[in-house]
Structure 1
Amino acid sequence: MSQKTRSRLQNVALGITIGISVVTLVVMLIAFISTVFMGPGSITIARGILLSIGLIAWTQVAYALLFVMLRCEASPRRSTITSCGCIAIVGSSALVLSDACWIRPDPQSALMLLFLPFLQLIGGMTLLVADSVIAEFESDSRPETRWQKVKCRALQLLFGVLLSFVSWWFFQEPSNDRPWLANLVILPQAEFDGDLVTIRSIRNTDYRTADDYSTAYYDRQFDLRSIRSVDFVVVPFGSDSPAAHTFLIFGFNDGERVAVSVEVRPEKTESYSVLRGLLRQCELTYVIANERDVILLRSKHRGDRLFLYPMQTSQAKTRELFVSMLRRANQLRDQPEFYNTLTNNCTTNILQHFNNVSDEKLPANLKVLFPGYSDRLAYDLGLIDTQQPFEQLQKSCEITEKANQFAKTPDFSRKIRE
């Protein structure tokens, strides 16, 4: 390859690297500003700025690595390989970014902005190792400094560790055959017969404490034509916390209600953590339960606050949403999946179900990363009542005290909604 061709190739690589870097930066700035500063007011400006700077830096680190590699003095062979590698990495990143944000946008697409740098770094490290190995071969005819030797060995070791981690990651397999916690052993099952659905193993646990309980189950047949409502429940993990659990409660004309809660499924000896949820160490489950079960576990025995929002959706869409979640629960019986703290959690699954049954897809939004603010996201999208200010709506929809007060009453469902 001639010097002129190599120079053009390097300029093309530099151009697309800088261009996609700028596009990514603009997209992230828009996403962070809309999420942090134009969303829920409980994120302080200082926290918002630090969060934005940290995440933006994370998205730019791979581009910085590629830029440095392109600008370094290198032999013709190394320069050609580096330029082609950068074009491949940045070009594929551009395709993923376009698909996630413009071609097929949905709430989970925004998460690609956070995972894309990880894939870019793997590609960049591979390219860096290849460059160092070629440099080592080319240096056989001339003296090599100790630093060059150390750098080459260190990069090879780092790449080996990274490759081992990626291999371990992909060899992990989810299973339904583990020693689960007592109230997560039995999986629900839905049997459809026209407009009727029979749900087997609806959980109805009697809790004495959060860890001391007697688990019971019952079967119930529902007429899908009589479904009338769906409530969106948010359970923040602490005051002003961006982390939370969310679930849905479906209501029928006869007053019967059933909750569907997407949860992590820990084993007896396991405790959930954000890191474990990221490292494919916990399975996903759909808990279908009596609403008293899932509400009192959190309000009375875990000391959480609960906010119950009636959703603004048609009966037809409510039915489709319910059926979609039941079919997903059935699917998990045969095809277990790993829970993921960011991409396969309670809120992302609920939003995905909405997109599956909705004609108008919910837009990509980084608020998906903060389930504690998902009620504000639902408010902004018009999925819950918008006739009053959000702060006032949130206050009126808290059911914590009412749930504890009327825990034993037969009309529990009506009391917590008054």
Structure 2
Amino acid sequence: MAAARVALRRALRVLLCMAVGVFVLSGIGALWYQAPLRWLWLPLWSVLGVAMLLALAGRLPQPRRGRVLGAGLVATLVLLGWWQTVLPMQDRDWSDDVARLLDADVEGSRVTLRNVRNFDWTRNGDPVPRWETRRYDLDRLASADLVMSYWMGPAIAHTLVSFGFDDGSRVVFSLEIRKERHESFSAIGGFFKQFEAVLIAADERDIVRVRSNVRDEDVYLYRLAIPREQLRTLFLAYVDEAGTLQQAPRFYNTVTSNCTTIVFDIARHIAPGLPLDIRLLLSGWFGQYTHAHGGLAGQGPFARLEAAGRITDRARDADRDPDFSRAIRRGVPGIPESETR
């Protein structure tokens, strides 16, 4: 029994040290990305963090151990208090492509979207800005497509949803980081309040083409198997999200609030029983998740839908084609030929 108690205490000490170690590393990340005078606070926090771990491991004498742990507790409370003061904002010097917030009015079946992005892009990635006001009739909403753009290996993708209307018009919704003019994307920074979130509504030739043709990402498109009567719910959920972000900005988070989690959260409005899955974290596998739960149109295994849904080459071939949206859909399972002619 005595040996078991000793083993249990050691195990608990190891777990406590691991938890404190994770918190110390998180504090380093928070200070690195957000703290003014980080050159001062980072060394102090790091030294104190190492001292706390040594104290918890029993490597310091008893009097010093208590002082170190006491100082660590005070520093932790100060760090947590300061972290609560890091708040999202609307008035920064934003990059051109996320400079405006989507604004929407809904009157019955009529939706007016202001600040719809319809940029052209040079080959080196410079934008030619153009923001538009567009109007849509939800009674004519006919389809929704899942677009996945891979930029960092097979497990990570950006997720967009493209809505089609029976008059041929389309609009794509995409939750993105709202980066400042001097910033670039950082997955690690996304854990530490580096970016606000923004919902972009865009012309398909802008938001798909910039990924496939300008940034050289690998892009896939799948027709979603959503009954027509539920498309309105999905569309309006995006509109509601835009209104929420307009009223109260929030931070983008690499895990908990990103381009894939918003799709999942909205889908749960339609199918509340959808389970959590590792493929929601590893967003590159979200297409497989959707297929496994009957969410993709078209017959056959996912590998077939994936191969036929790869639109990268078609998008590059249709670079200046005014029928870009029709061209990229040719041969995609579940999409009628009438949409691609």
Q: Which TM-score applies when normalising by structure 2?
A: 0.78
Matched, 1:232 2:232: no
Aligned equivalent of 2:296: 384
Query: Which stretch shifts more, 391-400 or 204-213?
Result: 204-213
Structure 1 residue 209: Cα displacement: 3.4
Structure 1 pair 239–280 and aligned structure 2 pair: CA distance change class (3 A): closer
Find the counterpart in structure 2 of residue 159 from structure 1.
73
CA RMSD of aligned residues (A): 2.2
- For 1:154 and 1:385, the matched residues in 2 are separated by 60
Relative to structure 1, the CA distance from residue 272 to residue 164 in structure 2 (aligned partners, 3 Å threshold; closer, same or farther) is farther
Cα–Cα, structure 1 residues 62 and 335, in superposed 2: closer, same or farther, change >3 Å? farther
- Quote the Cα distance in structure 2 between the aligned partners of 1:246 and 1:282: 18
CA–CA distance in structure 2, aligned partners of residues 62 and 302 of structure 1: 48
In the alignment, structure 1 residue 286 sits paired with structure 2 residue 185:
no
Q: In structure 1, what is the Cα distance between the partners aligned to 2:123 and 2:245?
A: 29
Matched, 1:174 2:88: yes
1:275 equivalent in structure 2: 188
- Contact 2:125/2:215 (8 A) holds in 1: no
Q: Does 1:374 align with 2:282?
A: no
Aligned residue identity for 2:77: L
Q: How does 1:48-59 map to 2 (within 5 A)?
A: none
Q: Distance in 2 between matches of 1:205 and 1:348?
A: 26
Equivalent residue number for residue 42 of structure 2: none
Could you tell me how far 1:201 is from its partner in structure 2? 1.3
* Count of paired positions: 283
Q: What whole-Å deviation, never above 9, does each CA across 1:67-101 have from its counterpart, x for those lacking one?
A: xxxxxxxxxxxxxxxxxxxxxxxxxxxxxxxxxxx
**2:218 partner SS:** coil
Q: 2:285 & 2:226 partners in 1: Cα distance? A: 20
- 1:164 is displaced (CA, Å) by 2.7
Matched to 1:159, the amino acid is L
Question: 2:194 corresponds to which letter in structure 1?
Answer: Q
Q: How many angstroms does 1:156 deviate by?
A: 2.2
Displacement, 1:150? Answer: 2.3
Instruction: Give the ranges of 4+ consecutive aligned residues of structure 1 lying more than 6 Å apart after TM superposition.
Output: 60-63
Matched, 1:194 2:145: no
Residue 393 (str. 1) matches residue 305 (str. 2): yes
Deviations 1:341-398 (A, max 9, x none): 1000000011101112x14331111221100111111111110136212112101000
Map Cα deviations across residues 262-319 of structure 1 (whole Å, 9 max, x no partner).
0010001122212211111210000100001111110011110000000001112111
Aligned residue type for 1:322:
F
Task: Find the counterpart in structure 1 of residue 228 from structure 2.
Answer: 315
Q: Which has the larger radius of gyration?
A: 1
Would the alpha carbon gap of residues 416 and 211 (structure 1) be closer, same or farther in structure 2, given more than 3 Å must change? closer
Aligned: 1:348 with 2:299: no
Task: Find the residue that maps to 2:255 and give its secondary structure.
Answer: coil
Equivalence for 1:65: 16
Work out which of the residue numbers 163, 166, 183 in structure 1 matches 2:97: 183
